[in-house]
């Protein structure tokens, strides 16, 4: 579903935002917002993704037939390569000023390849965040290449069939479909649910071992 300039203008109206306020939140110029809303330019994919991410964080939902509304529920599904990139943007925007990340029972090697070259850019911007508290519990066989901003521990093999999940801020991500032809996940926004997952993670973290030290050559 493509998003029109009219929908973006309507989203601003629902939020009571001026062009300047949307531009400031998206870190782009007011002129760019005006041109996109008036549809006098074709926005770059990255610029449009940035606008949609900001509006999504404010609970704006775009519907068919050029509709726009305030989201009434706190769940969202991300599908395919485009959806995964949108999820990475939402993760970054949520914790860009610091926050928590918990990754349970999967390594980045399982999902990051979907993002192609965007994965490296995402890892770079995440590594630059100050005050980020990121921990990963992963099976040794799925460890892949550890990233600098995360602390790691190994999850015992007996838990390999436990459902993987990802937490950022008060959002919990649960994979729905995970195969070569289709990738789909569900995000749930709930402080109460996030707290429960945090307690589960802390219990596993306390009983897990750290990464083995590499032997010096």
C-alpha–C-alpha distance, residues 82 and 100, integer Å: 24
For the stretch 108-132, pLDDT in tens is 777 777 777 888 899 999 999 999 9
Q: What is the pLDDT of residues 137-179, one digit of tens each?
A: 998 888 777 899 999 999 988 888 899 999 999 999 998 876 6
CATH superfamily of 5-70: lambda repressor-like DNA-binding domains (1.10.260.40)
The reply to whether 5-70 and 75-210 are identical in fold is no
User: Is residue 2 predicted with pLDDT exceeding 60?
Assistant: yes
CB proximity list for 147: less than 8 A, separation 6 or greater: 108, 123, 126, 127
pLDDT band, very low/low/confident/very high, at 105 (cuts 50, 70, 90): very high
Query: What CATH number labels 75-210?
Result: 3.30.870.10
What is the arithmetic mean of pLDDT over 192-206? Answer: 93
User: Domain extents for the chain?
Assistant: 5-70, 75-210
Contact criterion met (CB below 8 Å) for 139 and 160: yes
């Amino acid at each position: 579903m493509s998003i029109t300039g009219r929908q973006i203008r309507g989203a601003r109206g629902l939020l009571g935002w001026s062009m300047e306020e949307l531009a400031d939140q998206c870190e782009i110029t007011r002129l760019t917002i005006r041109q996109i809303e008036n549809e006098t330019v074709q926005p770059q994919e990255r610029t449009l993704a940035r606008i949609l991410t900001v509006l999504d964080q404010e609970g704006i939902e775009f519907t068919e037939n050029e509709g726009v509304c305030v989201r009434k529920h706190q769940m969202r599904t991300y599908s395919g390569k485009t959806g995964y990139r949108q999820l990475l943007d939402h993760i970054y925007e949520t914790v860009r000023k610091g926050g928590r990340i918990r990754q349970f029972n999967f390594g980045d090697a399982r999902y990051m390849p979907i993002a192609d070259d965007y994965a490296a850019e995402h890892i770079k911007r995440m590594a630059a965040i100050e005050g980020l508290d990121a921990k990963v519990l992963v099976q040794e066989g799925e460890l892949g290449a550890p990233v600098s901003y995360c602390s790691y521990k190994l999850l015992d093999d007996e838990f390999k069939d436990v459902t993987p999940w990802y937490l950022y801020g008060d959002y919990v991500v649960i994979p729905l479909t995970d195969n070569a032809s289709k990738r789909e996940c569900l995000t749930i926004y709930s402080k109460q649910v996030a707290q429960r997952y945090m307690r589960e993670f802390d219990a596993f973290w306390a009983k897990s071992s750290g990464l083995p030290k590499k032997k010096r050559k």
